[in-house]
Structure 1
Amino acid sequence: MTTNKKKVLIACDSSRTLLQFRGKLIEQLLKENEVYVFTPKVSQQHVREKLKDMKVTVYENGLNGSNVSIYSDLKYIVQLYQLIKKIKPDIFFPYTFKPVIYGTIVANLCRISCITPMLTGLGYNFSDKNTKNWLVSMITKTLLKLSLSANKRIRIIFQNKDDYNKLIASGIIGKKHQAFVVNGSGVDLIDYAYSAPETKVISFLMISRLINAKGVKEFYEAARLVSEKFSGIEFKLIGSYDDNIDAIDDQLYANIKSGKVLQYVGQVDDVRPYIRDASVLVLPSYYGEGVPRCILEGMAMGRAIITCDSVGCRETINLSVKQPNGFLIPIKDIKALVSKMEHYINHTKDILTYGLNGREFARQKFDVNLVNEAMLKIMQLN
């Protein structure tokens, strides 16, 4: 009996995102295909065991996705080339910058028939105000243009229209490119089940790596100002503080860890208990998101939102006056952030109403099943 199973190779820059962001997609792919993963070392045992149970073949590497290392990057390229020659995948699906740039170049050289790079946000590389890391940005743009050179095998996936338009305007891609826009990574509405938010003790939650462009300083300062005016309000911050070219400075990190203004939880494996305990989810990011996963998770669980009118973030706010689910504020505007926090404190019914509206908005637009159906079509698998 012959089999029509295809081989799908996924490349990412962090093993932590594999199941959290792509778990449901991998499950869909496994129904009729073989799935291989090329990832930095899998540090979480439950991730390793789950991938093994799913019968995903895992190959590990030493890639550092956040920083430039010529030796590490070259080693990654060689390893990926050798891996592609070994397994001969039919479809190559890289996501995040380094796997997209290096992986697409290598996959092209190896003439993989379907290459579907996903840009999960452009980060600070395309920010007009990014002068601090201009050299890194220039190199990234040059390599991205090289890797995404138009041909019939490459089908580029974006998570918002702003990123597509930005690459068109930058001359990195053109109208001849095959490009598709999906609604982020999607969110599982069963795993992230609705729960009524707490309104007696109001709690604002931010989930983010501790980098400047995510708006960590703005959240900290807004929390400090609101605490001076209102008593009994809680502020929590979840996220890793690690080696990144845009990491917050040592003084701000020390202030955050002191616990005087907000509770710093650090990195967690499961954000759901923290979202469940929160009243409002906040992300004042100007990073250049795809579509922020943490906001989708908050919406799915029925949490009102405050976020910035910035790329990716603005996709998560329903602008309908009949079904608002949160507020868009200008980037780096602490005063506006304070104002919207105070709105929820003074109008607790909006916490409930906006949360329910957000759940419905997530069901209509960001359901992971809808997103994955679109992804399979782009990969030419249905």
Structure 2
Amino acid sequence: MIDNRKKVLIACDSSRTLLDFRGKLIEELLMKNDVHVFTPKISQQHVRERLQIMNVTVHENKLNGSNVSILSDLKYIIQLYNLIKEIKPDIFFPYTFKPVIYGTIVAKLCKIGRITPMLTGLGYNFADKPPKKRLVSTITRVLLKFSLSSSKRIRIIFQNRDDYQKLMASGIIGVKHQAFVVNGSGVDLTHYDYSPPEIKQISFLMISRLINAKGIKEFYEAAKLIRQKFSNVRFKLIGSYDDNIDSINKELYASIRSGEVIEYLGPVDDVRPYIKEASILVLPSYYGEGVPRCILEGMAMGRAIITCDSVGCRETVNTAAKQRNGFLIPIKNVAALASKMEYYLKHTKNILTYGLNGRSFAKEKFDVNLVNAEMLKIMQVD
């Protein structure tokens, strides 16, 4: 009997995303393929155990996706090259910047038949920034253009049309490239099930790494304004404070940790209990998202949202009058953010209505099963 199973190699820059963002896709791939993952060290034991149960072959590395380290990156490239030579994958699926850039170059050198890099947002690399970040951005753009140079073997996946158009306008890709747009990473509507939001004790929840471009300061300052008028409103923040080129300053971090304005909960393994307790989900990001996962999770669980009219974020708000699920605000605009928070406090019925509309919108556009069906077609796997 002929074995038609193919080998799929997935490369990422954080082991936390393997199950949260790609778990259902990996399950689909495993039905007819063998799956290997090349990931930074897995720190969460439940992730390691789940991948073992799924029969995913794990290969760990020491990549730091958030910072520049020539020596570390070179070691990563060599390790990936040796791994590809060893397992000889039929399909290579890297996502996030470093795996996409380095991985696609190595995969080309190793003549992998199908290479499907996915850009999960462009981050800072195509935004205005201070000089100290400009060099890193320039180098990233040059490497990205080189790695994605046109080839029949490469099929590029974007999570929003803005990113596709940005790379076209900047000359990094052109009309000869095979490029596809999917609706983010999708969300599992059975895992993030609906629950009615609390409207008597209203709380605003933000889920994000503590970096400037996610709008941490804007959330903090808007919370201060609201608490001057509505003392019983609660504000909660979930996310890690990591070593990152754009981490918030120590003074703001200390103010947040004091708990006087915001309840800082740190990183958590499962956001569902916290979304269930929340009334509204907030993400004032101007980071350059793909499609923010935390907003999709909030929508799936029936939470009204406030987010920015920025790349990736704008995909999550349905502005049709009878289907509205939240608000888009200008970036870096504390007054606008506070105004929309106040709107919800004065129109509590819309917290329920917008939440239900968000669940419907997530089901229509972001259901992980719909997204994965598109992904499998693009990857050309059975």
TM-score by length of 2: 0.99
Q: Render the CA deviation track for 1:93-149: whole Å, top value 9, x for unaligned.
A: 000000000000000000100000000000011003454400000000000000000
Per mean C-alpha deviation after superposition, the further-off stretch among 131-140 and 336-345 is 131-140
Identity %: 77
Q: 1:1-382 maps to which residues of 2 (within 5 A)? A: 1-382=1-382
Residues in 2 aligned to 1:67 and 1:129: alpha-carbon distance in whole angstroms: 16
| Rounded Cα–Cα distance in structure 2 between residues aligned with 1:256 and 1:132 | 26
| Cα distance in 1 between the residues matched to 2:151 and 2:339 | 49
Rounded Cα–Cα distance in structure 2 between residues aligned with 1:93 and 1:70: 23
Give the aligned residue type for 1:11: A
Offset from partner CA, 1:39-60 (integer Å, 9 cap, x none): 0000000000000000000000
Q: How far apart are 1:295 and its partner, in Å?
A: 0.1
Which SS does the other structure have where 1:123 is aligned? Answer: coil
* Displacement of 1:2: 1.2
Q: Which runs of 4 or more aligned residues in structure 1 lie more than 3 Å from their structure 2 counterparts after TM superposition?
A: 129-132
Q: 2: distance between equivalents of 1:214 and 1:174? A: 30
* Unaligned stretches of 5+ residues in structure 1: none
2: distance between equivalents of 1:309 and 1:56?
38
- For residue 77 of structure 1, give the secondary structure of its aligned residue in structure 2: helix
What's the secondary structure of 2:306's corresponding residue?
strand
Provide the C-alpha distance between the structure 2 equivalents of 1:27 and 1:375, rounded to a whole number of angstroms. 13
Secondary structure at 2:106's aligned position in 1? helix
Aligned positions, number:
382
Q: Helix, strand or coil: the match of 2:14? A: coil
CA RMSD of superposed structures (Å): 0.6
Determine helix, strand or coil for the equivalent of 1:287.
Answer: coil
**Aligned partners of 1:93 and 1:194: how far apart in 2?**
32
Choose 313-322 or 300-309, whichever is displaced more: 313-322
- 1:153-195 Cα offsets, whole Å, 9 max, x none, are 0000000000000001111000100000000000000000000
After TM superposition, give the deviation of residue 280 of structure 1 in Å.
0.1
The answer (yes or no) to whether the contact 1:186–1:366 under 8 Å persists in 2 is yes
CA deviation map 1:180-223 (0-9, x unaligned): 00000000000000000000000000000000000000000000
Find the aligned partners of 2:320 and 2:153 in 1 and give their Cα distance.
39
CA–CA distance in structure 1, aligned partners of residues 111 and 89 of structure 2: 10
Distance in 2, matches of 1:186 and 1:104, equals 24
Shift of residue 319, structure 1, vs aligned partner: 1.6
Task: Assess if the C-alpha contact under 8 Å between 1:124 and 1:130 holds in 2.
Answer: no
In structure 2, distance between residues paired with 1:157 and 1:130: 29
C-alpha distance in structure 1 between counterparts of 2:199 and 2:175, whole Å = 49
Aligned-partner Cα distance in 2 for 1:329–1:131: 27
Unaligned runs of 5+ in 2: none
Comparing 131-140 with 36-45, greater Cα deviation is found at 131-140
SS of residue in 1 equivalent to 2:20: helix
Amino acid at match of 2:264: Y
The residue type paired with residue 337 of structure 2 is L
TM-score scaled by length of structure 1: 0.99
In 1, distance between residues paired with 2:297 and 2:130?
29
How far apart are 1:381 and its partner, in Å? 1.3
Aligned-partner residue type, residue 309 of structure 1? D
In structure 1, what residue type is equivalent to 2:246? D
Return the letter of the residue paired with 2:238: I
Distance 1:131 1:300 in 2: 40
Instruction: Tell me which amino acid in the other structure corresponds to 2:343.
Output: H
